[in-house]
Amino acid sequence: MAYSHIVVDVKGSVGIIRLDRPKALNALCAELFVELAEALDGFEANDAIGAIVLTGSKKAFAAGADIMEMQTKNYMDVYMGNFLTGQEERISTCRKPVIAAVAGYALGGGCEIAMMCDFILAADNAQFGQPEIKLGTIPGLGGTQRLTRFVGKSKAMEMCLTGRMMGAEEAERAGLVSRIVPLDDLMDEAVKVAGEIAELSQPIVMMAKESVKKSYETTLREGIMFERRVFHSTFSTEDQKEGMSAFAEKRTPEFKNR
């Protein structure tokens, strides 16, 4: 499929989506969101894909929702159109793992879609921020909620109230990103990690992902019970038998995604 604002590629069992609107620093226009959702749908439906990497350019992962598109919208446009409530959130409903490989600016909606991914690998030049306050608005794709859960109230509040950007090191210290990688190694590392995940049992990976995500949506006791039941259910799979047998027999497991 030919896209205008993204580039889609496959490396082994890893699906790669690169945001590609260089003239607007990958600002997230409506068409880009449609293309992104379509690409994700395609990878989700493709049994040969075990994990997905979402990235941008070296200068910008994405500099936010498209301000030029938003500037003339009024309240009725966004309320009645339920603006940003649909395919803009598609990443957050992906069942396969999605890794954000972030270099350069991840601002506003860019920071928010990175946070919808399962984890963020950051290049050493990455800059995260929710600068909407400077535009007379607030984050609209989950920024006030996810950032607060990921980095805590004080830092999230400071960033949302001032629009200050946070560099890669601060983001790693705060727990927003899993690791920092040198800029030139970012994609190799992201595809390598995604490839390692894709080698594992897809259904078990999905169950692990679902269980970690549950921790943001429930009480500790309920979350632990959810995890326990999912853990129990892994014992009904062929892949759990294979994984444990292979360990006991000192060989590499051959998962069948069953």
Interface ranges with ligand CAA (CB under 6 A): 24-25, 27, 63-68, 84, 105, 107-109, 112, 131-132, 135, 139-141, 143
- Kindly state the greatest CA–CA separation across the chain: 65
- Whether 174 is a known active-site residue: answer no
Whole-angstrom distance, CA of residue 101 vs CA of residue 32: 18
Q: How far is the CB of 122 from ligand CAA (least distance, A)?
A: 16
Output the smallest distance, CB 134 to ligand CAA, in A: 6
DSSP 110-146: HHHHHHHSSEEEEETT-EEE-GGGGGTS---SSHHHH
Is residue 109 part of the annotated active site? The answer reads yes
Min CB(133)–ligand CAA separation in Å: 9
The residue annotated as part of the active site, out of 60, 65, 101, 114, is 65
How many helices (H) and strands (E) the chain has is answered by 11, 10
Check 50, 108, 109, 140 and give the catalytic one: 109
Give the other-Cβ count within 10 Å of 59's Cβ. Answer: 13
Quick one: DSSP state of residue 215? T
In the complex with ligand CAA, the residue whose CB is nearer, 88 or 118, is 88
Establish whether 65 is a catalytic residue: yes
> In the annotation, is 86 catalytic?
no
Closer to ligand CAA by CB, 54 or 107: give it: 107
Catalytic positions: 65, 109, 112, 132
